Every structure is written in structure tokens, then in C-alpha cells.
Amino acid sequence: MNTRAAATALGWFSIGLGLAELIAPRKMSRATGLNSREKVMPYLGAREVASGIGLLASQKPTAWLWSRVIGDAMDLAILGCGFRNSQSNSKRLALASGMVAAVTALDVLACNEATRDKKRSVTANGSKTQLFRTITIQKSARDLYQFWRSLENLPQIIPDLKSVKVTGERTSHWVAAGPGDTEIEWDAEITDDQPAARISWRSLPGAPVPNNGTVYFEELVGDRGCVVKLRMHYVPPAGGIGAKIARLFGKAPEQQTMEFLRKFKQLMETGEIATTVGQPAGRKLSYSPKFDVAARRMAEAN
């Protein structure tokens, strides 16, 4: 069952039935065999119209579908009471009850399918995490964009990223250090590329950690540098549990993101990155000369 199509069909059905109950309550009362219950019809009609509008207007109709099931139960209860009323038409009541029961079954099926769709969506997306970080760097937006757009430069600033290989005009292959001595590999593509303004990307299907994001370069007036904004969405391994374990070991993306933005700032402002890894005192690591070549090529291309 297509949940959206079913919700749309049921929505129009609800509105049509509700309007009939509102406009002609006496005729609807007689048609259903409830000869003496025309006063209750406008209330039932208002409920049907509200449900119909909710189903048509909502992007997530699950709650409105369940509201229809509750309404069906109320309708069946009213029809059941009608059998005990001597003024009711038993044959019409039986026919109406059968029709309402059939619609109820359809509503229940639509509800179950909508609930399964929601569960499948949660399973597919895992525990999706969003990141947003910003930093000001005393460099022009053009220089910062050129460094970032030359994707092979990124392992210099991103922790645990071993290599990035450009495989096409907008595609690339990434390799990062995984747990223990393992490696994590995935392919990605650039989805939006605005020189000196922004770069957007997304991982391709099959990535062990599905991710997407955008880095923005917003130059400040008066030679005050450039604001770099990084927005990311990713699904951590093993969902939320994986994210919590990562934090315990200091590998949380939230921590790493700010760390590599600081490295980016150091590298672009001084040409070096301060580090204490493997030495008792801080020392500086110079950036790769590949950046100079890549930057010149980007400048010539632009």
C-alpha cells in the first residue's frame, strides 16, 4: 500500500462524507437507518471534514489516520446502538455497519503501513546527528576556498583522515583510520560548488558513515578575514550508542570538527600547524607544497 496515496484518498473520502453529513443530516440519518439520530450527524460531519483536511495537509499523516480509526469505532458504536432503537431501519443499519466496517479495515491497514514506513525511515537514517561549527580566519575567502576545494589537502587538517583521491570532476574516494588498525573507505560527490562562497558534498550509497554537509566562506569587510561555517549531517556507527562510545574515547565528531577547524586556521594564517605529538615540546608542521600548486591551478582556472 502506498501510504501517501491511501491518505489522500481517505482524506477526500472524509471530506465528502463529512460535507454530506453537515449539509443533509436528515437524509444521511435515514440512509444509514438511524431515523431518529439526525441531530448527531453534524458532529460526525465536522469530525470527518477535520480528519480529511488533516490527511491532505499533513506530510506525516500517521496521526490523522489513527484519528480516522477512532472515529470509525465511534461510528460503529452509534450504529450498534441504533439496532436497539425501534425507530431504526435494521436493513439499512446492517448495510451501513458493513460499509463502515470495511472502511475501518482500510483505515487500519493504512495506519499499519504508515507506522511501518516510519520505522523503516528511522532504521534507514539511524540516529542522525547534526553539527554546526564556525571560526574566523585571517585569510581571504578565495584562499580558503582554494585550499578546501583541492580535496587532497584535507588530510593535513582532518584527524584520522588518511587520504582523499579525486576520481572525477566532482567525485572523490576517501580513506580514514577506523577502530584498531582498520580503515574506513567511502566515495563522495560535490553537490554544490560556488567559488569563494561554499562547497556542499554528500557521501555516495554504501558509505559506512552516511554524511553530507556544506562549508561556507563569508568574507568580512575591512580586511578582517573570513568566517568559515561548517554544517554537517551524519549517521554515527551503531546509531546513538556508537556516538556515545566515540565521545568516551575522545573521537566524537563534535570534538574533531572544532579541532580540524583550528588546524585549518593555524595552517592558513601561519603556514604551519603546532603539534606536540611524539615530542616533549610544541613544534610546527608545515603544510604540503601540493597546496601551492593546487592553489595556483585553481586561480588560473577561475
As a whole number of angstroms, the distance between CA 250 and CA 253 comes to: 9
Reported as a pLDDT band with limits 50, 70 and 90, residue 247 is low
Q: What homologous superfamily is domain 129-301 in, according to CATH? A: START domain (3.30.530.20)
Task: State mean pLDDT over 55-81.
Answer: 84
Q: What is the pTM of this model?
A: 0.50
Summary mean pLDDT of the chain: 80
Among 18-32, 58-72, 142-156, which range has the highest average pLDDT? 142-156
262, three cell numbers: 583550528
pLDDT tens for each residue of 186-234: 999 999 999 999 999 999 988 888 889 999 999 998 888 999 999 988 8
Domain spans of the chain, in order of start: 3-125, 129-301
Q: What is the pLDDT of residue 113?
A: 77
pLDDT tens for each residue of 248-280: 555 666 677 888 899 999 999 998 776 544 444
Q: Beta-strand (E) ranges in the chain?
A: 129-137, 161-166, 171-177, 183-194, 198-203, 211-219, 226-234, 272-275, 283-286
